Amino acid sequence: MPIYEYVCEACRHEFDLLRPMTQADEPAPCDSCGSRESKRKLSLCNAQSGGKSIAGTSAPSCSGCAGGSCASCGH
Ligand SMILES: [Zn+2]
């Protein structure tokens, strides 16, 4: 399971969460204030792709943006 980084919109707390790729874009509960107004950070995109083959994708991609909507990864 990949690790995703989130930032809480309510208190700006940043936290990591280990979760399935299918849940990557779902709001994660802030472990500081409990708010679910969090957004996934995209900064881990490139780091996540190193070395591992990702099921279902043939193009160079990252596990953090299976949907292809990640502008910061360039795909
Ligand atoms: Zn918070």
- Per residue in 28-37, pLDDT (tens digit) is 999 999 999 9
- On the question of pLDDT at 16 being above 80, the answer is yes
CATH number for the domain that contains residue 31: 2.20.28.10
45 is in which domain, residue-wise?
A: 3-73
* Residue 60, pLDDT score: 54
Output helix, strand, coil percentages for the chain, rounded to the nearest 5.
Answer: 15, 20, 65
**The tokens 């990591």 sit on which residue?**
16
Q: Which two tokens stand for residue 24?
A: 């990557």
What pTM, to 2 d.p., does this model score? 0.55
Q: Considering its fold, how many domains does the chain have in total? A: 1
Tell me how far the alpha carbon of residue 29 lies from the centroid of ligand 1, in angstroms: 8
Confidence bin at 44 (pLDDT 50/70/90): very low
Tell me how far the alpha carbon of residue 43 lies from the centroid of ligand 1, in angstroms: 19
pLDDT digits (tens, 9 = 90+) for 61-73: 555 555 555 555 5
